[in-house]
A and B are shown apart, each in its own frame.
Chain A
Amino acid sequence: MSRISRSRALLATAAAVPLVLVAACGGTDGTDGGGDGGGEVTELHVVDYHNNEPNKSVWQGVLDGCATEVGVSLNRETVPGGDLIAKVLQMSSSRTLPDVLMLDNPDVQQIAESGALAPLSDFGLDPGGITEGVLSASTYEGELYALQPVTNTIALFYNTQMLEEAGIEPPSTWDELESAAAALTEGDRYGLALSAINTYEGTWQFLPFMWSNGGDESDIATPEVAGALQLWKDLLDAGSMSQSVVTWSQGDVADQFGSGNAAMMVNGPWNFGTLAEADADLEYDIVPIPAPTSGDTIISPFGGEAWAVPQTGDADRMAVAAEFVQCLVGEQAVVDAAVGTNTVPTDPSLADTVVEQVPNLASFAAQVPDLRARTGELGPEWPTQATAIYEAVQNALVGGMSPEDALAQAQG
C-alpha cells in the first residue's frame, strides 16, 4: 500500500513525466512516415489549433483553397490550443513533425531555437507587406521561420448605452479613463473590466499600457512601467474595477461586459461571437486603448498564429510545404481568414478590404503598423519575463506592494 501511495505521489509530482515518456518513445531518426521519399508530393500533413467553430471551418476553407492552388490534398490535424506545444515537442523528439505547422506567434522563436523549423529563406519565401513588428516575432537570429497572415490585438470596448446615459465620451487618455471608469461605477456595476490574471493573458493585457508609457520588457524596474502599473492600481483602489480582475481570464472579462456588470472592458475581437450570444441587444463600440497623454502613440502586442515549415528531412515535401505557406499569406487567404475569424491582416494594405466587410475591426486594423512583438526583444527568454510582469502586477494590485517595489522584486 505504501509503495503505491508513494509512487502515486511521485507520478503526480514528477510533472514532466508524460512528456519524457513520449520523448523516450521517439528517438529514431526516420522521417515522417507519410514521406514519399523524393517522388511526387500529393499530400501535406498540417497541424494547427483551430479546433473550435467557427474558426475551424473558416481555416479549413482557407487551407483547402491553398491546397488546390499548390495541387496537393491535405491531412489536417487540429489539437486543443493548450496541447499544441506538448504535441510539437512530442513530434520533434519522435521525428514525426508535420509538413506545415501552425504556432502561436510568441512560441515561434522558442521552437525555432530548438532547431525543429526550417529557415524560410531556404525556399525564397517573400514576406510581402507584412508589418515589421509581426515579422520580428517570426524571426530568430536573423532568419525568418514563419509567416503570419492575420493578427489581432486588444482595444477598449464600451457599452454605448451606459456611456450615453452617463453623458460620457469614450476615453482616449489615462486621465479620461480614470474619471470615466469612476463615473460609470454604480451599484453592482463597475466602470472597467480587464484581465490581470496570473497567466500570460494578464501580461498581454498590461503590455499596451506599459509600452505606450515608454516601458520596456528587458528592464521592468523603471518609472515608465511603474506609471502604467500605478494606473491599474488607482483604478482598482478607486473601486472602478473589481478586485476579481486578478482572477479573470479575458473570457471572464467578456462575460462580465456582456452581462452588463462592466461599462467598459479591455479585450479583443475574438469576443464578438461571445458578446452577440450574451445579449442580442447589447450595443457596444470599440476605441483604441487610451494613451498616457493625448497624442501619444499606442503600442500594443499582437496575437495570432504563424505558419512554419518544420525540418522533416524530405526536401521535396518541404519545398511544396513552403509554397503552401506562401499561399497562406496571399491576398485571398488573408482576407478570407480575417473576415471569417474577426482578425486583421498583418499586411496593412489589405486592411481596408477587411474593414469594409467587418466595420468593428477598424480600431484593431488601425493599430497594425505600430504593433509590437512580445518576443521581439527577448526571444525565447520571453516566458520568464512574462511571468515576472504578471507577478509584479498581482503583487501591486492585491499583494500590498507599491508598483515600484513589486517591479523591482520581479526584475530580481
Chain B
Amino acid sequence: MTATEVRAGSGGLVPPAPARSGRRRPVTRRRLVQFAFLVPALVYLVLFFGYPVVKNLMMGFQEYTTRTFYTGEAPWVGFANYVTAVTDPVFDQALLNTGLFTVGSIVGQFTIGLLIALFFHRRFHLSGVLRSLLLLPWLVPMIAASAVWRWILDTDHGVLNRTLDLLPFVDGRPAWLTSTTLALVAVIMVNIWLGIPFNATILYGGLQEIPEELYEAGSLDGATGARAFWHITWPLLRPVVTVVLVLGVVYTLKVLDVILGLTNGGPANATQTISTFSYHMSFREFDFGVGAALGNILVLISLVFAIVYLRLNRRAIDE
C-alpha cells in the first residue's frame, strides 16, 4: 500500500521532461530530506542487524578460533565448517530435537494460550487481575526461573515428584531431567509455561477485535457454544493465529536460555538443539567457525518460516 502511494506521489512530483529545470532543485532537496529521515533507521539496521548477519555468514566459511582474535587471521575454508557440523553425530539428534521441541512447545503454548484467552474473554469478577497475573512467567528472569524449575523437577527431592508420591496410582519417581526419554518432555513443558502469556495475550487481543454483534446475530441462527467458535471466532481470529504461530516458531527455534538453564543440552544430548549445539561449539570449544555454521543453518530454517509468514500476510492484505 505504501509502495503504491510513493510511486503515485513521485510520478506526480518528478516531471517526465527535464524542460522545467527550475523546479528540479526543490525536488532533489525534498528527496534529500526524505532520505535524511531514513538515515537513523538505516544506520541502526546496518550496524546492528546487517553487520552481525553478514559477519556470521562469513564466519561460517572461515577457520575462526581463539588464535584469530590475536592474529586477526581467519583462513577461508569453504564448506568445511558445514561438513564438520552436519557430519557430527550430535547434529542429527540436535535437528530432531529442534523439531520436536518447536512443535511440542508451539502446540502446547497455542492450545493452552487459546483456551485461556477464550476463558478470559467472558468477563467475570477479578478477570482483569487474574489475566495480569498470567503474565508473571514473562516477568521472571529466565535464569531464576530455570533454577526454580530444576528444583521442582529434581528426581529425589523435587516438589513435583514428592507430590506425585502422594498419589496412589503413580509408581516410582519419574526422572524428569535425568532420563533421556523424559528430559525433552520436561524442557518442552517449561517452555510451554514460558510461552503461554505471549500466546494468551495476543489471542485475547484478537478476540477483543471480533464484534459482539456477530455473536448476537449468530445466536439467532442457532450458532452458540462450539458452533459459534468454529463459524465465527475461528475464521475471524485466523490472521492473529497466523501471526502467533509463525512468530512462535521463530522464537522457539532459537531458544537457548531455557535449555542451558535446565539441562545444558543433556543428559546424553537428549535436549541438545541446534542453538545449544552452536553455543557449545562457539563458547565451550572455541570453534567459532563451526558455531557460526550451525547458527546459519538455524537462520535458514527461521527464514523459511519468516517467508511463509510474509506470504500469508500479503495474501491476507490482498483479500
B82 at the interface (CB under 8 A from A): no
A395 at the interface (CB under 8 A from B): yes
A93 near B72 (CB under 8 angstroms)?
A: yes
B292 near A243 (CB under 8 angstroms)?
A: no
CB contacts under 8 Å to B, within A52-101, are 85-86, 89-90, 92-93
The listed residue with most A CB atoms (<10 A of its CB), out of B253, B286, B292, B303, is: B286
B219 at the interface (CB under 8 A from A): no
- For the A-B complex, the count of residue pairs with Cβ-Cβ distances under 8 Å equals 186
Which of B5-13, B59-67, B108-116, B124-132 contacts the other chain? B59-67
The listed residue with most B CB atoms (<10 A of its CB), out of A24, A114, A188, A384, is: A114
Assuming the contacts A383-B284, A391-B268, asked whether A16 and B253 have C-beta atoms less than 8 A apart, the reply is no
B70 near A12 (CB under 8 angstroms)?
A: no
B178 near A244 (CB under 8 angstroms)?
A: yes
In the complex, chain A residues whose CB is within 8 Å of the CB of B49: 7, 10-11
Complex interface bits, A395-412 against B, C-beta within 8 A gives 1, otherwise 0: 101111000000001001
B89 at the interface (CB under 8 A from A): yes
B52 near A15 (CB under 8 angstroms)?
A: no
Complex interface bits, A8-29 against B, C-beta within 8 A gives 1, otherwise 0: 1111111111011101100100
Closest A residue to B247 by CB, please name it: A5
Closest A residue to B300 by CB, please name it: A13
- Of the candidates B53, B90, B265, B267, which one forms a contact with A10 in the assembled complex, judged by CB atoms under 8 Å apart? B53
A246 near B302 (CB under 8 angstroms)?
A: no
A198 at the interface (CB under 8 A from B): yes
A349 to B84, CA, bound (A): 47
A2 near B266 (CB under 8 angstroms)?
A: no
CB contacts under 8 Å to A, within B144-167, are 150, 154-157
Complex interface bits, B299-319 against A, C-beta within 8 A gives 1, otherwise 0: 100110010011001000000
In the complex, chain A residues whose CB is within 8 Å of the CB of B179: 243, 398
B56 at the interface (CB under 8 A from A): yes
A20 near B55 (CB under 8 angstroms)?
A: yes
Complex interface bits, B239-272 against A, C-beta within 8 A gives 1, otherwise 0: 0000100010011011010000001111111100
Assuming the contacts A13-B275, A114-B69, asked whether A398 and B178 have C-beta atoms less than 8 A apart, the reply is yes
Closest B residue to A89 by CB, please name it: B69
A399 to B182, CA, bound (A): 12
- Of the candidates A16, A197, A384, A387, which one forms a contact with B59 in the assembled complex, judged by CB atoms under 8 Å apart? A16
B105 at the interface (CB under 8 A from A): no
CB distance from B71 to the nearest CB of A (A): 6
Q: Interface of chain A, helix or strand or loop or mixed?
A: helix
The listed residue with most B CB atoms (<10 A of its CB), out of A20, A113, A383, A400, is: A20
A398 near B283 (CB under 8 angstroms)?
A: no
B92 at the interface (CB under 8 A from A): no
B251 near A16 (CB under 8 angstroms)?
A: no
The listed residue with most B CB atoms (<10 A of its CB), out of A1, A7, A85, A397, is: A7
9 A-B pairs with C-beta separation under 8 A: A6-B303, A16-B288, A85-B66, A110-B286, A113-B66, A244-B178, A394-B268, A395-B268, A409-B89
B279 near A114 (CB under 8 angstroms)?
A: no
Closest A residue to B262 by CB, please name it: A247
- Of the candidates A27, A92, A115, A247, which one forms a contact with B177 in the assembled complex, judged by CB atoms under 8 Å apart? A247
B236 at the interface (CB under 8 A from A): no
In the complex, chain A residues whose CB is within 8 Å of the CB of B97: none
The listed residue with most B CB atoms (<10 A of its CB), out of A7, A16, A17, A27, is: A16
B295 at the interface (CB under 8 A from A): yes
A247 near B178 (CB under 8 angstroms)?
A: yes
Assuming the contacts A9-B250, A9-B299, A111-B66, asked whether A19 and B288 have C-beta atoms less than 8 A apart, the reply is yes
In the complex, chain A residues whose CB is within 8 Å of the CB of B296: 14
B55 near A198 (CB under 8 angstroms)?
A: no
In the complex, chain B residues whose CB is within 8 Å of the CB of A110: 66, 286
A17 to B256, CA, bound (A): 15
A360 at the interface (CB under 8 A from B): no
B56 near A247 (CB under 8 angstroms)?
A: no
CB contacts under 8 Å to B, within A311-346, are none
Closest A residue to B313 by CB, please name it: A2
A115 to B71, CA, bound (A): 7
Closest A residue to B257 by CB, please name it: A12
Assuming the contacts A5-B306, A394-B267, A398-B180, asked whether A17 and B52 have C-beta atoms less than 8 A apart, the reply is yes
B295 near A16 (CB under 8 angstroms)?
A: yes
B216 at the interface (CB under 8 A from A): no
A235 at the interface (CB under 8 A from B): no
A113 to B68, CA, bound (A): 10
B191 at the interface (CB under 8 A from A): no
A198 near B53 (CB under 8 angstroms)?
A: no
Closest B residue to A22 by CB, please name it: B69
Given A197-B266, A399-B269, 15 other A-B residues pairs in contact with their CB atoms under 8 A:
A1-B243, A2-B310, A2-B313, A9-B299, A14-B292, A20-B55, A20-B288, A89-B69, A114-B65, A243-B179, A246-B268, A247-B177, A387-B280, A387-B285, A394-B268
A114 to B292, CA, bound (A): 20
Closest B residue to A189 by CB, please name it: B156
Closest A residue to B178 by CB, please name it: A243
A261 at the interface (CB under 8 A from B): yes
Closest 5 CB pairs of A and B: A399-B268, A198-B266, A14-B56, A394-B268, A92-B70
B187 at the interface (CB under 8 A from A): no
